[in-house]
Amino acid sequence: MDSENTTDQYLFNDIYDEIVDGSQSDNDFVDRPLFDSLKVIKKNYSDFELLAQGGMKRVFKVFDKKLNRYVAYARLHPKSPQELHDPFIREARLTALLEHPNIISVYNIGINEDDCPFFTMELKVGKSLSEVISETPGISRPGTDSFNMLLESFIKVCDALSYAHSKNVVHLDLKPENIQMGKFGEVIVCDWGLGKIIGDEEIEYDQLLFNPDLLNNVTLTDKVVGTPGYMAPEQISGGEKTKLTDIYSLGAMLYTILTGKLAFSGDVDRILEQTLKGEFQEARERILDWEVPDGLNAVVVKAMQLKPDDRYQSVENLKREVQSYLNGRTTIAEKAGLLKEAKLFYKRNFISCNIFLAGLFTVLILGGVFLFQLKQHNVQLSQEKEKAELNRQEAVSERNRYKIAFELMHIEKDLATALLNQEAAIIHKIFNLTDNVVFDLPITSLKKAENFIAEIPDTSRAYDWGQVQKNYIHYLRQEFHLFKVISPQDSELKKMIDGFTKNDRPYLEIEDLIKLINHILKNKYDIADVVKILKYDGLIRESKEDHLKAVKVLLKKVNPKWQGELKYKDGLLSVSGQYFEKYYPKPDELFQRALKVARPVCLLNSLVVRKLDLSNTGVRDLNPLKMQRIQELNISDTTVVEIENPESFRALKKLIISKNSPLIKTLNSLRNHFEVEVK
């Protein structure tokens, strides 16, 4: 930077010296050094220094002898086919017609000595937006000056695109690499090589130069062009490319600003496939060192909608959303509630709100004191000696009544405790079987619990409780012909049960079981009951395919965005779908009535599983699989970064991981415990 500034200063000094020298010549001879220097220049550009190159062209830093300054010089690759000449010239002319502070300026266009076209542009010294993000750790952290600077730069990009769209020009290759960031806040949108002009019947006079018939309504090639991860679905599928195509790319660029990452993952083919399906992990769901604002996350989601009609309908609308966030307001896309609007209003008007609240608090305090004093004064005036004495006697009498009631309550409590302690051990055993052991040995535990309940005599205070527990066991085993209405909430359940299809099997028809599970899951506190029912059902139901349908209902409850499949055959259970992350509820999510389970309960072992395929899912934690009887586990292309205590996987014989897995670092250690296959 310093050397280039010094060079520019020398160039300015040279011009000044030439003007001064010319002004001191005699009157008989007109000395025109600048004019004469232009006449003798034959080769205009020198000092070629390569700056960058892409698939079609190279860009050099060159010295323009006529302008006496450095410029950027773009030309095609050597031996480029002549078919690229016109598209290259079209890019130069298209860029030259866009006169905007945030769009690169074109100075000249011509044919060089090799009979190839070239054009020159202003030379901007700085870094691309991509380099700024990748080279500055934490720049995307919300609330920092650097993050606000990125959003302000994004708004300038929107200004440039809004201007281009007003001329019916679309860019079609927006990405951080094509945004140049200057040292003094300059933001330039570069590389309009894929740009095109959209025809419009209602065109103003000063827009005639943008006539698509003059510049030809095509892109540089007839192939699918653009940058995977930033190009819109219609660019891949060959659909119509409109202004909304650029809005999708702006959304993808904003995603990178918020996370420092691409919205999609995988190789090029996978990225294109995900783009066509509209499948990407929302920015706020990324594992980052900061939390992505809900307002901006909603803006990205709307801008990157699969259908163009569902996106923002203009760049100005998108720009206003980002500007709203910078101004401390909610975005329309996030559909914020009244509480958040109030919080942001307070944040924007912090001083005024505090002054108002302080004044209001003062008024309330003074008013309260005044009313209290007024009330006290009225009470004092109205008091009478006889009434005061009566009140005192009533207070003494009331205190004595409370004392007697308190003593009676303790007597009743001691009696209840004494009675229950006679069956305390057996009650604890029943709770342990129905609320703990049932997750591992459902058939055995429920049978033993039923036997213990039968031992409680009908004269015991615990007998009624035992009947409730017995009814609960019938409920878990789908023995609804034995189910009785004991509590009011059982009545609603009994009405639904009466509508189930009658059969001779010891379990419900799968459609009825799914109805029952959905009914139970209306209350999140009953999720433990569903897990117990499925653990038992997996051991008694003949059709494993039907059982998996019921298991999938619970897994979708735990993974709301998951749309994948479960497949089971000969001991192999396969799970598909990138949004499949949790296969277990945490212990505190089970809401047990008596005993709290101290370990995660795996939802995938209600069948006899010897091989488990979790590849290409979002699974991260393998701890719930410890102590399971799984012999082969496939976790390739997952986000698992560590296997804690591999010796705990006692039955595991083979582990399958991918080449790019973080587990490669501990490969030798893992192989001390089981075979590891790298795919």
Residues 6+ apart with CB under 8 A from 128: 176, 177, 178, 179, 180, 181
Q: Which amino acid is at 652?
A: L
pLDDT at residue 35, as a whole number: 62
Shared domain for 33 and 80, answered yes or no, is: no
Number of Cβ within a 10 Å radius of residue 599: 15
Is residue 62 situated within a structural domain? yes
Shared domain for 92 and 168, answered yes or no, is: no
Question: 266 is in which domain, residue-wise?
Answer: 128-348
Residues 6+ apart with CB under 8 A from 508: 478, 480, 500, 501, 516
314-350 burial string, b = 16+ CB within 10 Å, else e?
bbebbbbbbebbeeebbbbbbebeeeeeeebeeeeee
Helix (H) or strand (E) holding 215: helix 212-215
Number of Cβ within a 10 Å radius of residue 496: 13
Helix (H) or strand (E) holding 573: strand 572-575
Asked if 494 and 485 count as a contact pair (C-beta separation under 8 A), the reply is yes
Shared domain for 311 and 223, answered yes or no, is: yes
**Which candidate, 334, 314, 310, places its Cα nearest to that of 324?**
334
What is the SS3 assignment for 552-619? HHHHHHHCCCCCCCEEEECCEEEECCCCCCCCCCCHHHCCCCCCCCCCCCCCCCCCCCCEEECCCCCC
For the chain, the first-to-last Cα distance in angstroms comes to 48
Number of Cβ within a 10 Å radius of residue 3: 7
Handedness of CA 576, 580, 585, 589 (dihedral sign): negative
Place of tokens 């030309």: 75
Token code pair at residue 324: 């709203």
- Among 348, 380, 403, the domain boundary falls at 348
Shared domain for 63 and 29, answered yes or no, is: no
Asked if 478 and 512 count as a contact pair (C-beta separation under 8 A), the reply is no
pLDDT at residue 349, as a whole number: 64
DSSP state at residue 456: S
Q: Domain holding 322: CATH number?
A: 1.10.510.10
pLDDT at residue 533, as a whole number: 92
Asked if 315 and 154 count as a contact pair (C-beta separation under 8 A), the reply is no
Shared domain for 168 and 260, answered yes or no, is: yes
Distance CA 421, CA 46 (A): 100
Shared domain for 256 and 280, answered yes or no, is: yes
Is residue 415 situated within a structural domain? no
pLDDT at residue 17, as a whole number: 53
Distance CA 195, CA 192 (A): 5
Shared domain for 94 and 149, answered yes or no, is: no
Asked if 658 and 634 count as a contact pair (C-beta separation under 8 A), the reply is no
Q: Which amino acid is at 152?
A: E
DSSP state at residue 330: -
Q: What is the mean pLDDT of each run of 10 residues along the chain (679 residues)?
A: 49 51 51 62 84 82 89 88 86 87 90 89 86 90 90 95 93 92 89 79 37 39 68 92 95 94 91 93 90 92 95 94 87 72 63 76 82 76 70 58 42 42 76 87 92 86 81 89 73 81 88 90 80 91 90 90 89 89 78 67 82 92 84 92 89 93 90 92
Q: Say how many domains are in the chain.
A: 4
Shared domain for 491 and 434, answered yes or no, is: yes
pLDDT at residue 214, as a whole number: 36
Is residue 396 situated within a structural domain? no
Shared domain for 192 and 300, answered yes or no, is: yes
Token code pair at residue 270: 């996978």
- Where residue 351 falls (left for φ over 0; alpha for ψ -120 to 50; beta otherwise) is alpha
- Among 609, 634, 658, the domain boundary falls at 609
Q: How far is CA 410 from the centre of its chain?
A: 56
Is residue 664 situated within a structural domain? no
Cα–Cα distances in angstroms (integers) from residue 419 to residues 413, 462, 628, in the given order: 10, 9, 41
Shared domain for 332 and 432, answered yes or no, is: no
CA-atom Rg of the chain in angstroms: 38
Asked if 173 and 226 count as a contact pair (C-beta separation under 8 A), the reply is yes
Is residue 209 situated within a structural domain? yes
- Among 579, 609, 639, the domain boundary falls at 609
- Where residue 96 falls (left for φ over 0; alpha for ψ -120 to 50; beta otherwise) is alpha
Q: Domain holding 68: CATH number?
A: 3.30.200.20
Is residue 638 situated within a structural domain? no
Q: Which amino acid is at 278?
A: G
Is residue 305 situated within a structural domain? yes
pTM summary value: 0.47
pLDDT at residue 365, as a whole number: 85
Token code pair at residue 445: 């535990």
Please provide the size of the chain in residues: 679
Shared domain for 210 and 94, answered yes or no, is: no
Q: Which amino acid is at 134?
A: S
Is residue 335 situated within a structural domain? yes
Cα–Cα distances in angstroms (integers) from residue 565 to residues 510, 515, 545, in the given order: 17, 20, 11
Q: What angle do CA 317, 227, 131 make, to 5 degrees?
A: 85
Distance CA 299, CA 311 (A): 9
Place of tokens 């801008």: 303
pLDDT at residue 218, as a whole number: 38
Q: What angle do CA 337, 339, 341 make, to 5 degrees?
A: 70
Distance CA 519, CA 557 (A): 12
Shared domain for 144 and 99, answered yes or no, is: no
* Beta bridge partner(s), residue 657: 678
